[in-house]
Amino acid sequence: MQALAPELPLHQRRRLPTSQELDGIPWLRQLQPAEYERAVSNITVGDAVPGDFVCRVGRPATYWFGVVEGLLKMSTDSAHGHTVTFTGVPPGGWFGEGTVLKREAYRYNMQPLRKSVVAGLPVDTFHWLLDHSIAFNRFIMNQLNERLAQFIAAREIDRLNDPDVRVARSLAALFNPVLYPGVGEVLRITQQELGYLVGLSRQRVNEALAVLEAQGAIQVEYGGLRILDLAALRTSGTVAKAAAR
């Protein structure tokens, strides 16, 4: 059973980041000293738990968020009351730059699937960095470009009928080294959490992982998955699809 969020909302439980948590923010290392100091002096973190909302549909964007530890899911509710999950965000991933750029309201919910540490950079500081840092601009452009490719791939995944291929492609997205540099070769995720992200039962995810492990694409470890062949995950189902034509 998932833990309930504390009575105080997440934004009222903010604190200063530790030096180790700052080390887990990839774009900070690309900044010049003055830019770095400006960013670090404005970053706060929160210890989020299942039941918390990092951001909610319709709320104005006040922060640009990133995952230092844990795992978040991006979702929304359909007109029929069903939850539609877009993607997961593992460690090292920052999200919502498009919304922050336009100072718009969020069009999705972000919630932790487990206890997570989430960092936030205020919108005004985000725009200050855009105005003063070439390196930050390059990072954001790379993010937007990679994010576009990710969501195009996500639309394709949604149309796949083969559960094994759905799991493979979804895992490949979570191992994206540009969007999620904190993951490395091992993704800390449970089969239940992966099921939430893919839209399958834990039992069916278990079967898919067994197939992928037998193919040599992944190795199931205690508390997570080790990537062995990222290219195979990304192209899973392609050969069968071409043969069916």
Structural domain count, the chain: 2
Three-class DSSP category at 56 = coil
Mean pLDDT over the full length of the chain: 89
- Give a yes or no: residue 5 inside a domain: no
Reported as a pLDDT band with limits 50, 70 and 90, residue 4 is low
How confident is the model over 132-184, as pLDDT tens digits? 999 999 999 999 999 888 777 766 666 667 889 989 988 998 998 889 998 98
Residues 104, 144: one domain?
yes
- Give a yes or no: residue 180 inside a domain: yes
Range of the domain at 135: 10-154
Residues 115, 193: one domain?
no
Distance CA 231, CA 172 (A): 8
Residues 74, 126: one domain?
yes
| CATH code of the domain containing 220 | 1.10.10.10
pTM higher than 0.75: yes
Residues 169, 121: one domain?
no
Looking only at the bridges linking them, the beta strands covering 224-227 and 44-48 are unpaired
Residues 143, 171: one domain?
no
C-alpha of 60 from chain center: 20
Reported as a pLDDT band with limits 50, 70 and 90, residue 242 is very low
Residues 14, 130: one domain?
yes
Residues 180, 133: one domain?
no
Residues 65, 144: one domain?
yes
- Give a yes or no: residue 4 inside a domain: no
- Give a yes or no: residue 3 inside a domain: no
| CATH code of the domain containing 57 | 2.60.120.10
Distance CA 118, CA 43 (A): 10
Residues 218, 188: one domain?
yes
How confident is the model over 57-116, as pLDDT tens digits? 999 999 999 999 999 999 887 666 677 788 899 999 999 999 999 999 999 999 999 999
